Protein backbone atom coordinates (compact mmCIF):
# COMPACT_ATOMS: atom_id res chain seq x y z
CA UNK A 1 0.00 0.00 0.00
CA UNK A 2 1.32 3.41 -0.89
CA UNK A 3 1.24 6.51 1.24
CA UNK A 4 -0.18 8.33 -1.80
CA UNK A 5 -3.94 8.89 -1.95
CA UNK A 6 -4.22 6.61 -4.98
CA UNK A 7 -2.60 3.22 -5.75
CA UNK A 8 1.01 3.33 -6.93
CA UNK A 9 2.88 0.93 -9.18
CA UNK A 10 6.66 0.92 -9.62
CA UNK A 11 8.38 -0.40 -12.76
CA UNK A 12 12.01 -1.42 -13.42
CA UNK A 13 12.60 1.58 -15.69
CA UNK A 14 11.81 3.93 -12.82
CA UNK A 15 8.33 4.88 -14.03
CA UNK A 16 5.69 5.50 -11.40
CA UNK A 17 2.13 4.71 -12.42
CA UNK A 18 -0.64 6.21 -10.30
CA UNK A 19 -4.29 5.25 -10.79
CA UNK A 20 -7.40 7.26 -10.11
CA UNK A 21 -11.01 6.63 -11.14
CA UNK A 22 -10.73 8.70 -14.28
CA UNK A 23 -7.16 8.35 -15.50
CA UNK A 24 -3.80 6.63 -15.31
CA UNK A 25 -0.82 8.89 -14.63
CA UNK A 26 2.71 7.81 -15.57
CA UNK A 27 5.63 9.76 -14.12
CA UNK A 28 9.23 9.25 -15.44
CA UNK A 29 10.71 9.90 -12.01
CA UNK A 30 14.33 9.19 -12.95
CA UNK A 31 14.23 11.96 -15.57
CA UNK A 32 13.26 14.60 -13.02
CA UNK A 33 15.70 16.79 -11.04
CA UNK A 34 17.10 15.43 -7.79
CA UNK A 35 15.09 17.92 -5.77
CA UNK A 36 11.90 16.44 -7.22
CA UNK A 37 13.08 12.87 -6.60
CA UNK A 38 13.91 13.75 -3.01
CA UNK A 39 10.44 15.18 -2.35
CA UNK A 40 8.69 12.25 -4.03
CA UNK A 41 10.70 9.70 -2.04
CA UNK A 42 9.59 11.45 1.15
CA UNK A 43 6.02 10.46 0.24
CA UNK A 44 6.85 6.80 -0.26
CA UNK A 45 5.63 4.15 2.13
CA UNK A 46 8.52 1.92 3.27
CA UNK A 47 7.22 -0.94 1.10
CA UNK A 48 7.32 1.38 -1.92
CA UNK A 49 10.88 2.38 -1.04
CA UNK A 50 11.93 -1.28 -0.97
CA UNK A 51 10.35 -2.02 -4.37
CA UNK A 52 11.82 1.15 -5.85
CA UNK A 53 15.29 0.29 -4.57
CA UNK A 54 15.00 -3.14 -6.22
CA UNK A 55 14.35 -1.65 -9.67
CA UNK A 56 18.00 -0.96 -10.49
CA UNK A 57 21.34 -0.01 -9.00
CA UNK A 58 20.52 3.62 -9.69
CA UNK A 59 17.20 3.54 -7.81
CA UNK A 60 18.96 1.78 -4.92
CA UNK A 61 21.54 4.58 -4.79
CA UNK A 62 18.76 7.18 -4.83
CA UNK A 63 17.00 5.60 -1.86
CA UNK A 64 20.33 5.53 0.01
CA UNK A 65 21.20 9.10 -0.99
CA UNK A 66 18.01 10.77 0.14
CA UNK A 67 17.02 10.50 3.78
CA UNK A 68 13.46 9.42 4.50
CA UNK A 69 11.23 9.09 7.55
CA UNK A 70 12.13 5.41 7.96
CA UNK A 71 15.88 5.90 8.37
CA UNK A 72 17.48 5.10 11.70
CA UNK A 73 14.90 2.60 12.88
CA UNK A 74 15.17 -1.20 13.06
CA UNK A 75 15.01 -4.38 11.01
CA UNK A 76 13.50 -7.47 12.62
CA UNK A 77 14.56 -10.75 11.02
CA UNK A 78 12.32 -13.80 11.15
CA UNK A 79 14.23 -17.04 10.56
CA UNK A 80 11.30 -19.05 11.95
CA UNK A 81 8.45 -20.70 10.05
CA UNK A 82 7.94 -17.77 7.65
CA UNK A 83 11.38 -16.33 6.81
CA UNK A 84 11.02 -12.61 6.24
CA UNK A 85 12.56 -9.27 7.10
CA UNK A 86 10.42 -6.58 8.68
CA UNK A 87 10.76 -2.89 9.49
CA UNK A 88 10.06 -1.66 13.00
CA UNK A 89 10.07 1.78 14.56
CA UNK A 90 12.61 1.96 17.40
CA UNK A 91 10.91 1.25 20.70
CA UNK A 92 7.89 -0.42 19.09
CA UNK A 93 7.70 -4.23 18.79
CA UNK A 94 5.22 -4.13 15.89
CA UNK A 95 7.14 -5.17 12.77
CA UNK A 96 5.90 -4.65 9.20
CA UNK A 97 7.03 -7.22 6.63
CA UNK A 98 9.24 -5.90 3.82
CA UNK A 99 10.58 -8.95 1.94
CA UNK A 100 10.26 -12.70 2.31
CA UNK A 101 12.93 -15.31 1.60
CA UNK A 102 12.09 -18.77 0.28
CA UNK A 103 13.66 -21.80 -1.34
CA UNK A 104 13.83 -21.77 -5.14
CA UNK A 105 11.97 -25.10 -5.16
CA UNK A 106 8.93 -23.33 -3.72
CA UNK A 107 8.72 -20.80 -6.54
CA UNK A 108 5.56 -21.29 -8.60
CA UNK A 109 6.09 -20.46 -12.28
CA UNK A 110 2.44 -19.48 -12.73
CA UNK A 111 3.03 -16.50 -10.43
CA UNK A 112 4.90 -14.63 -13.20
CA UNK A 113 7.94 -13.84 -11.06
CA UNK A 114 10.18 -10.97 -12.06
CA UNK A 115 13.98 -11.17 -11.80
CA UNK A 116 15.71 -8.66 -9.53
CA UNK A 117 19.36 -8.16 -8.63
CA UNK A 118 20.18 -8.04 -4.93
CA UNK A 119 23.83 -7.34 -4.13
CA UNK A 120 25.05 -9.18 -7.21
CA UNK A 121 22.55 -12.07 -7.02
CA UNK A 122 19.86 -12.32 -9.72
CA UNK A 123 16.83 -13.98 -8.12
CA UNK A 124 13.10 -14.33 -8.83
CA UNK A 125 10.62 -12.24 -6.86
CA UNK A 126 6.86 -12.72 -6.68
CA UNK A 127 3.93 -11.50 -4.61
CA UNK A 128 2.51 -14.03 -2.16
CA UNK A 129 -1.18 -13.17 -1.87
CA UNK A 130 -1.63 -15.42 1.16
CA UNK A 131 1.17 -13.81 3.15
CA UNK A 132 0.60 -10.42 1.48
CA UNK A 133 4.31 -9.91 0.99
CA UNK A 134 6.85 -9.88 -1.84
CA UNK A 135 9.00 -13.02 -1.65
CA UNK A 136 12.45 -13.61 -3.12
CA UNK A 137 13.50 -17.15 -4.13
CA UNK A 138 17.01 -18.52 -3.60
CA UNK A 139 18.94 -21.71 -4.29
CA UNK A 140 20.49 -21.14 -0.85
CA UNK A 141 17.85 -19.55 1.46
CA UNK A 142 20.44 -18.95 4.22
CA UNK A 143 22.57 -16.91 1.83
CA UNK A 144 19.36 -15.29 0.65
CA UNK A 145 18.35 -14.16 4.13
CA UNK A 146 21.79 -12.72 4.87
CA UNK A 147 21.85 -10.93 1.50
CA UNK A 148 18.34 -9.49 1.85
CA UNK A 149 19.16 -8.18 5.35
CA UNK A 150 22.35 -6.51 4.05
CA UNK A 151 20.42 -5.00 1.14
CA UNK A 152 17.56 -3.60 3.25
CA UNK A 153 19.85 -2.37 6.00
CA UNK A 154 21.94 -0.53 3.42
CA UNK A 155 18.95 0.95 1.58
CA UNK A 156 16.89 2.06 4.59
CA UNK A 157 19.80 2.81 6.95
CA UNK A 158 18.19 0.52 9.53
CA UNK A 159 20.35 -2.04 11.37
CA UNK A 160 19.09 -5.57 12.12
CA UNK A 161 18.46 -5.62 15.86
CA UNK A 162 16.19 -8.63 16.48
CA UNK A 163 16.33 -12.19 15.14
CA UNK A 164 13.70 -14.88 15.63
CA UNK A 165 14.93 -18.43 15.17
CA UNK A 166 13.92 -22.07 15.62
CA UNK A 167 15.63 -25.47 15.61
CA UNK A 168 15.97 -25.50 11.81
CA UNK A 169 17.69 -22.12 11.86
CA UNK A 170 20.33 -22.66 14.54
CA UNK A 171 22.78 -21.12 12.05
CA UNK A 172 21.23 -17.75 12.97
CA UNK A 173 22.99 -17.80 16.38
CA UNK A 174 26.50 -17.37 14.95
CA UNK A 175 25.20 -14.96 12.31
CA UNK A 176 23.52 -12.82 14.97
CA UNK A 177 26.82 -12.68 16.85
CA UNK A 178 28.70 -11.61 13.73
CA UNK A 179 26.37 -8.71 12.84
CA UNK A 180 25.82 -7.46 16.39
CA UNK A 181 22.11 -8.20 16.79
CA UNK A 182 20.89 -7.00 20.19
CA UNK A 183 17.93 -9.38 20.71
CA UNK A 184 17.64 -13.08 19.88
CA UNK A 185 14.20 -14.64 20.35
CA UNK A 186 12.78 -18.15 20.03
CA UNK A 187 9.20 -19.28 20.61
CA UNK A 188 8.85 -22.46 18.58
CA UNK A 189 6.68 -25.52 19.16
CA UNK A 190 9.59 -27.81 18.24
CA UNK A 191 11.88 -28.37 21.23
CA UNK A 192 15.65 -28.02 21.04
CA UNK A 193 17.86 -31.02 21.72
CA UNK A 194 19.95 -30.91 24.92
CA UNK A 195 23.05 -30.07 22.90
CA UNK A 196 21.29 -27.32 20.93
CA UNK A 197 19.85 -25.73 24.07
CA UNK A 198 23.26 -25.74 25.76
CA UNK A 199 24.84 -24.26 22.61
CA UNK A 200 22.37 -21.36 22.70
CA UNK A 201 23.04 -20.60 26.38
CA UNK A 202 26.82 -20.78 25.91
CA UNK A 203 27.23 -19.10 22.53
CA UNK A 204 24.43 -16.61 21.87
CA UNK A 205 26.15 -13.31 22.65
CA UNK A 206 23.16 -11.00 22.09
CA UNK A 207 22.56 -8.60 24.99
CA UNK A 208 18.97 -9.89 25.20
CA UNK A 209 18.19 -13.61 24.98
CA UNK A 210 14.45 -14.33 24.98
CA UNK A 211 14.31 -18.15 25.03
CA UNK A 212 10.73 -19.39 25.22
CA UNK A 213 11.32 -22.65 23.30
CA UNK A 214 11.80 -25.68 25.57
CA UNK A 215 14.66 -28.13 25.64
CA UNK A 216 13.50 -31.67 24.89
CA UNK A 217 12.31 -33.51 28.04
CA UNK A 218 12.37 -30.26 29.98
CA UNK A 219 11.36 -32.05 33.18
CA UNK A 220 14.59 -34.11 33.03
CA UNK A 221 16.91 -31.51 31.53
CA UNK A 222 19.86 -30.25 33.58
CA UNK A 223 22.41 -27.62 32.63
CA UNK A 224 25.87 -27.47 34.20
CA UNK A 225 27.61 -25.14 31.76
CA UNK A 226 28.42 -21.45 32.02
CA UNK A 227 26.25 -18.45 31.18
CA UNK A 228 27.44 -15.50 29.13
CA UNK A 229 27.30 -12.01 30.58
CA UNK A 230 24.36 -10.17 29.03
CA UNK A 231 21.82 -7.46 29.74
CA UNK A 232 18.64 -9.55 29.82
CA UNK A 233 17.70 -13.22 29.88
CA UNK A 234 14.18 -14.61 29.77
CA UNK A 235 13.61 -18.36 30.08
CA UNK A 236 10.10 -19.40 29.08
CA UNK A 237 10.26 -22.76 30.81
CA UNK A 238 12.68 -22.72 33.72
CA UNK A 239 11.83 -26.12 35.18
CA UNK A 240 15.49 -27.08 34.80
CA UNK A 241 16.84 -24.02 36.60
CA UNK A 242 18.68 -24.75 39.89
CA UNK A 243 20.14 -22.48 42.54
CA UNK A 244 23.63 -23.04 41.09
CA UNK A 245 22.32 -21.93 37.68
CA UNK A 246 20.68 -18.87 39.20
CA UNK A 247 23.80 -17.83 41.08
CA UNK A 248 25.84 -18.19 37.88
CA UNK A 249 23.78 -15.65 35.91
CA UNK A 250 25.37 -12.27 35.25
CA UNK A 251 22.59 -10.07 33.92
CA UNK A 252 20.83 -6.79 34.56
CA UNK A 253 17.41 -8.43 34.18
CA UNK A 254 16.34 -12.04 34.80
CA UNK A 255 12.88 -13.38 33.99
CA UNK A 256 12.20 -17.07 34.74
CA UNK A 257 8.84 -18.69 34.03
CA UNK A 258 7.46 -22.08 35.14
CA UNK A 259 10.24 -22.94 37.56
CA UNK A 260 10.05 -26.19 39.52
CA UNK A 261 13.40 -26.94 41.18
CA UNK A 262 13.86 -23.56 42.86
CA UNK A 263 12.48 -23.46 46.43
CA UNK A 264 11.93 -20.60 48.87
CA UNK A 265 15.15 -21.59 50.60
CA UNK A 266 16.89 -21.09 47.23
CA UNK A 267 15.25 -17.71 46.65
CA UNK A 268 16.11 -16.69 50.20
CA UNK A 269 19.79 -17.54 49.61
CA UNK A 270 19.73 -15.73 46.24
CA UNK A 271 18.18 -12.62 47.83
CA UNK A 272 20.72 -12.60 50.67
CA UNK A 273 23.61 -12.72 48.19
CA UNK A 274 22.02 -9.99 46.07
CA UNK A 275 21.62 -7.73 49.11
CA UNK A 276 25.27 -8.35 50.04
CA UNK A 277 26.48 -7.21 46.60
CA UNK A 278 26.98 -10.50 44.72
CA UNK A 279 25.12 -9.20 41.64
CA UNK A 280 26.12 -5.55 41.15
CA UNK A 281 24.64 -5.43 37.61
CA UNK A 282 21.28 -6.97 38.50
CA UNK A 283 18.35 -4.53 38.46
CA UNK A 284 15.28 -6.74 38.18
CA UNK A 285 14.34 -10.37 38.84
CA UNK A 286 11.02 -12.16 38.22
CA UNK A 287 10.23 -15.81 38.84
CA UNK A 288 6.98 -17.59 38.04
CA UNK A 289 5.22 -18.94 41.13
CA UNK A 290 1.55 -19.44 42.00
CA UNK A 291 0.10 -17.20 44.76
CA UNK A 292 -0.81 -20.31 46.77
CA UNK A 293 2.90 -21.09 47.14
CA UNK A 294 3.99 -17.56 48.04
CA UNK A 295 5.34 -17.02 51.54
CA UNK A 296 6.90 -13.66 52.28
CA UNK A 297 7.97 -14.98 55.68
CA UNK A 298 10.01 -17.81 54.10
CA UNK A 299 11.42 -15.49 51.43
CA UNK A 300 12.70 -12.93 53.98
CA UNK A 301 13.76 -15.40 56.68
CA UNK A 302 17.07 -14.54 58.34
CA UNK A 303 17.53 -11.21 56.47
CA UNK A 304 18.83 -8.58 58.89
CA UNK A 305 18.93 -5.62 56.51
CA UNK A 306 16.54 -2.76 57.43
CA UNK A 307 13.07 -3.44 55.99
CA UNK A 308 9.93 -1.33 55.66
CA UNK A 309 6.53 -1.98 54.12
CA UNK A 310 5.97 0.25 51.10
CA UNK A 311 2.86 2.38 51.73
CA UNK A 312 2.41 3.68 48.19
CA UNK A 313 2.19 2.02 44.80
CA UNK A 314 5.15 2.52 42.53
CA UNK A 315 5.81 1.02 39.10
CA UNK A 316 9.08 -0.65 38.12
CA UNK A 317 9.57 -1.25 34.40
CA UNK A 318 12.39 -2.38 32.21
CA UNK A 319 12.40 -4.83 29.25
CA UNK A 320 10.69 -8.20 29.73
CA UNK A 321 8.50 -7.45 32.73
CA UNK A 322 7.12 -4.69 34.91
CA UNK A 323 5.19 -4.61 38.15
CA UNK A 324 3.37 -2.11 40.31
CA UNK A 325 3.10 -3.03 43.95
CA UNK A 326 3.73 -1.85 47.49
CA UNK A 327 5.72 -4.87 48.69
CA UNK A 328 8.64 -4.69 51.13
CA UNK A 329 11.56 -2.29 50.75
CA UNK A 330 14.94 -3.63 51.88
CA UNK A 331 18.08 -1.53 52.32
CA UNK A 332 20.96 -3.18 50.48
CA UNK A 333 24.51 -3.25 51.85
CA UNK A 334 25.56 -0.65 49.26
CA UNK A 335 22.77 1.75 50.30
CA UNK A 336 20.36 1.15 47.43
CA UNK A 337 16.74 0.07 47.96
CA UNK A 338 15.42 -3.28 46.74
CA UNK A 339 11.70 -4.06 46.69
CA UNK A 340 10.31 -7.60 47.04
CA UNK A 341 6.67 -8.40 46.30
CA UNK A 342 4.26 -10.87 44.77
CA UNK A 343 2.91 -9.63 41.43
CA UNK A 344 -0.43 -11.07 40.38
CA UNK A 345 0.09 -9.51 36.95
CA UNK A 346 3.28 -11.55 36.45
CA UNK A 347 2.00 -14.52 38.51
CA UNK A 348 5.24 -14.64 40.41
CA UNK A 349 7.72 -13.07 42.77
CA UNK A 350 9.31 -9.83 41.60
CA UNK A 351 12.40 -8.16 43.03
CA UNK A 352 13.86 -4.92 41.76
CA UNK A 353 16.42 -2.26 42.64
CA UNK A 354 15.19 1.31 42.32
CA UNK A 355 17.39 3.81 40.48
CA UNK A 356 19.20 6.15 42.84
Is residue 290 over pLDDT 80?
no
Task: Say what the pLDDT of residue 111 is.
Answer: 54
- 59/88 same-domain check: no
Give residue 52's domain range.
8-65
Is residue 23 over pLDDT 70?
no
Task: Say what the pLDDT of residue 70 is.
Answer: 78
- 195/139 same-domain check: yes
Is 14 within a domain?
yes
- 61/104 same-domain check: no
pTM of the full predicted structure? Answer: 0.87
Is 1 within a domain?
no
Dist CA 49 CA 79 (whole Å): 23
The closest of 52, 60, 42 to 12, measured between CA atoms, is 52
Q: What is the pLDDT of residues 237-278, one digit of tens each?
A: 999 999 999 999 999 999 999 888 888 899 999 999 999 999
- 263/118 same-domain check: yes
Task: Say what the pLDDT of residue 7 is.
Answer: 43
Is 239 within a domain?
yes
Is 311 within a domain?
no
Number of folded domains in the chain? 2
More confident of the two residues 192 and 42: 192
- 157/177 same-domain check: yes
The closest of 91, 94, 95, 88 to 70, measured between CA atoms, is 88
Residues 314-332 have a mean pLDDT of 88
Is 301 within a domain?
no
Task: State which H helix or E strand residue 202 sits in.
Answer: helix 194-203
- 95/179 same-domain check: yes
- 88/237 same-domain check: yes
* Mean of per-residue pLDDT scores for the chain: 87
Which of 278, 299, 325 is where one domain is finished? 278
Which of 230, 245, 278 is where one domain is finished? 278
Q: What is the pLDDT of residues 142-165, one digit of tens each?
A: 999 999 999 999 988 899 999 999
The closest of 98, 96, 87, 63 to 159, measured between CA atoms, is 87
Residues 166-191 have a mean pLDDT of 97
Amino acid sequence: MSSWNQPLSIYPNGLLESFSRDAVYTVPLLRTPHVVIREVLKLFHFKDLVLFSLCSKRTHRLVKLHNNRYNGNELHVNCDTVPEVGWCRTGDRSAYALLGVSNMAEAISEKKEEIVEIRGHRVPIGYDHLLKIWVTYWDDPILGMKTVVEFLSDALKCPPVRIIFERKSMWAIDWANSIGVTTVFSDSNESFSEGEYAYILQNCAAPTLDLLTNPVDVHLYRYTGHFLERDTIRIGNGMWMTLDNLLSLNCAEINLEFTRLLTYDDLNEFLKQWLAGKFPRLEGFAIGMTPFDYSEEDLLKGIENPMTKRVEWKEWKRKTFNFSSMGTDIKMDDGRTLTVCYSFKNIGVCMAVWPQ
